[in-house]
Chain A
Amino acid sequence: MNDWAGGLSGTLVTLDEDLEREFEDRLRESATLAFRVAYGVLRHRQDAEDVAQEAFAKAYRSFSQLRDRDRFRAWLMRMTWRLAIDRWRSDRRRTAREQVVESAEAATTEEVAVSRERAERLWQAIDGLPDKLRIVVVLGAIEGHDIRTLARLLDLPEGTVKSRLYLARKGLAESLRCLAPSK
């Protein structure tokens, strides 16, 4: 009896250790993705890290159902996006956006100012898109995700992702044309 109980507890401990190890692997693989997704919405480093940490904490609670790598990344990305959008909506009026333009080419003050203005216009255009188009554009820009990867992450058919990406680009072009400085 004691041997059986000892064996069972040993199995449970091993299972916990396995889960912990797998979670550590997922954390290493997906930390940057979660942070960038949050940053793409919030454009504030501290807020983005906070949201990504929250998403990981939620993922840990459901990790027994999210042990598959692709499934975990998709779930984490969607959770991060949702949390970031919620934070962005609640903080939109009071938080000044971080305007980080770290470009190697923008050496002079004038170039920095120009690239900062361009980035501001770009974010403004992206913020003006509907959420379902916005997420496709931001995710496509992160790590150069292709249509298939986007479809897997968003849990959507590839055709839907393609059409949404097209509509997002059209909307972006229209907004940028309107926001472009008159010469």
Chain B
Amino acid sequence: MSRTEQMNDFDQRMVAAAEADLQQLLAIEPSPEFAARVRVRVHERRESPAKVWGWFGLATVTAAALAVAVVGRTPQSVPEAQTIEMVHRSDVRLSATPLLVGDTTSSTSQGTVKVARHYSPPAAVTQAGTPEIIIDPAMTAAIRRMAMLLRTSEPDASAAEQLQTEVGEPAPLVIADPLNVPELVLKPADQNGGDQE
């Protein structure tokens, strides 16, 4: 059927009957609870933005707390530069300075870093390759004094005699059996390469 073509009587009656049927089919009422359900849904919609913003706020606070925790934790990790400072600290321990020897017992990371920064003499770096020898400076001075004293003074003979009297006369050397040592005979080189016949 074209757009301009007129409907005939049969079509008009058929459409009128269809429209009457449609009107009858659509004469249907919603359930009695319909209005109440609409009100419930309206109130849910009214509250939902507040809930959404509440969740959004909670998420924001959580993210902020995590960020603060991460930022606060970062300086405690040992960066590479501070590890180098720790090596300097062990070098300082090799030197004979009493202060630094005493500091080797410190164990907390932050404390040692501070000490190493404070007592980092240039001499310590030059001793990095030498073996570790810990000598008490007082003992070193005493040895040095004794060496100088021995070098400048003459030996005392009376002291040796006194020592001999304390120890007593040495016993004479007694040989119980004369030594029986066989005569060493040198033979010419073996022609057979050492094989026994």
A: residues with CB less than 8 A from B are 23, 27-28, 31-32, 35-36, 39-40, 45, 48-49, 52-54, 56-57, 60-61, 100-103, 118-119, 122, 125-126, 137-138, 140-142, 144, 167, 169-170, 172-174, 176-177
Contacts and interface: CB of A to CB of B under 8 A. Distances in A.
A36 B24 CA distance: 11
Nearest to A125: B18
22 contacts: A23-B42, A39-B26, A49-B30, A49-B34, A49-B37, A52-B38, A56-B42, A60-B45, A101-B25, A102-B28, A103-B24, A122-B22, A137-B22, A138-B22, A141-B19, A142-B23, A169-B15, A170-B5, A173-B7, A173-B15, A176-B14, A176-B18
Given A27-B39, A40-B26, A142-B23, 9 more contacts: A27-B38, A31-B38, A35-B29, A49-B37, A57-B38, A60-B45, A122-B18, A173-B1, A173-B12
Contact of B21 (A54, A122, A138, A144): A122
B41 interface: yes
B23 to A, nearest CB: 4
Given A36-B26, A100-B28, A141-B26, A28 B11 contact: no
A176 B10 CA distance: 11
B31 A45 contact: yes
The B interface is mostly helix, strand or loop, or mixed, namely helix
Most chain A CB atoms below 10 A, which of B3, B23, B25, B41: B25
The A interface is mostly helix, strand or loop, or mixed, namely helix
A31 B45 contact: no
B35 interface: yes
Contacts of A36: 26, 28
B24 A53 contact: no
A140 B19 contact: yes
B25 A61 contact: no
A56 B36 CA distance: 12
A141 B21 CA distance: 9
B35 A27 contact: yes
Nearest to A34: B30
A14 B60 CA distance: 36
Given A45-B31, A49-B34, A56-B38, A119 B15 contact: no
A172 B22 CA distance: 12
A172 B28 contact: no
Nearest to B39: A27
A38 B83 CA distance: 75
B81 to A, nearest CB: 59
Given A31-B38, A101-B25, A138-B26, A170 B7 contact: yes
A122 B25 contact: yes
B6 to A, nearest CB: 9
A36 to B, nearest CB: 5
B60 to A, nearest CB: 25
A177 B11 contact: yes
Contacts of B37: 49, 53
A61 B46 CA distance: 8
A167 B21 CA distance: 19
A35 B24 contact: no
A162 B31 CA distance: 33
Contacts of B39: 27
Given A126-B22, A141-B23, A53 B41 contact: yes
Contacts of A125: 18
A119 B28 CA distance: 15
Contact of B11 (A23, A53, A100, A173): A173
